[in-house]
Amino acid sequence: MLCDTLEKINRKIEHATERSGRTRDSVRLVAVSKRQSMEKIGQAVSCGQVLFGENYLQEAQEKITGDKNRLCWHFIGHLQSNKAGLAAKLFDVIETVDRIKIARLLDKHAGQCGKKMEILLQVNIGREKQKHGVLPEHTEALLRAVLQETKCKVCGLMTMPPWSVHPEDSRTYFRKLRLLSEQLADKGLFASQDKIELSMGMSADYTVAIEEGATLVRVGTALFGKRD
């Protein structure tokens, strides 16, 4: 069951990359496993999925410390500064850095674990009051501060566009994030010049996101079904 669903999603990803003249391996699927059981995660793993996204630290801690498969874990929730140490220890990538204080703390704790923290900057591309993320016009300053003050590797940008019932409504926001990332890339501000991550698109709109340049799509319910 879950293998079939995963296969369908991977096929949709493949078609979206073909439509937009991209290679299949330019997009990775982040299986968003928040509030999903270990059993379902295990099923996904047995069908070949290795990259997972989690939002809640306490929940993630149980899953990740029990992970014997050495899976890859991305943190995609809001990070409080008092939890930065735990997040740095548990996760391979933190996708939701939106202030310098968090980057400093992640850097400090990752250093103590002997690793260089890989992060994405979360951008509030729709300028929504209730959403986290740095505003587009403040993103360059944050990126420069992270570069100056930490050893974190800024691999790219992440966003959640304003909610809509129509996936096509997300397109202009996805495009805005891509254009912003291109501006910053032109200034050589990302950790890598040739592989800049764009984490955008969820269950409803991931194919639109891929058409607009997503390299990471975060899919939860479309893969696992309704959350507990």
Residue that has been written with the tokens 């100056």 in this structure: 148
Phi-psi region of 20 (alpha: psi -120 to 50; beta: other; left: phi over 0): alpha
Query: Cβ–Cβ contacts within 10 Å for residue 157, how many?
Result: 27
Query: Residue 43 interacts with ligand PLP (CB under 6 A)?
Result: no
Region near ligand PLP per CB under 6 A, out of 62-70, 100-108, 135-143, 215-223: 215-223
Residue nearest to ligand PLP (CB): 220
Longest Cα separation, the chain = 48
Positions 71 through 90 that interact with ligand PLP (CB under 6 A):
76
CA 32/CA 120 separation, integer angstroms: 17
Q: How many residues bind to ligand PLP according to rule CB under 6 A?
A: 12
Query: Residue 221 interacts with ligand PLP (CB under 6 A)?
Result: yes
Based on CB atoms, which residue is closest to ligand PLP, 121 or 160?
160
Tokens read off for 34: 């928040």
Query: Residue 5 interacts with ligand PLP (CB under 6 A)?
Result: no
Positions 187 through 206 that interact with ligand PLP (CB under 6 A):
202-203
Query: Residue 164 interacts with ligand PLP (CB under 6 A)?
Result: no
Tell me how far, at minimum, the Cβ of 158 lies from ligand PLP, in Å.
Answer: 8
Tell me how far, at minimum, the Cβ of 75 lies from ligand PLP, in Å.
Answer: 10
Sequence-ordered strand ranges (E) for 71-115 = 72-75, 93-97
**Among 9, 34, 97, 197, contact with ligand PLP (rule: CB under 6 A):** 34
**Among 5, 10, 55, 61, contact with ligand PLP (rule: CB under 6 A):** 55
Tokens read off for 127: 């300028």
Query: Residue 218 interacts with ligand PLP (CB under 6 A)?
Result: yes
* Residue partners of 218: CB distance under 8 A and separation at least 6: 30, 32, 53, 76, 199, 201, 202, 206
User: What is the crossing angle of helices 171-186 and 139-149, to 10°?
Assistant: 40
List of residues contacting ligand PLP (CB under 6 A): 32, 34, 55, 76, 160, 202-203, 218-222
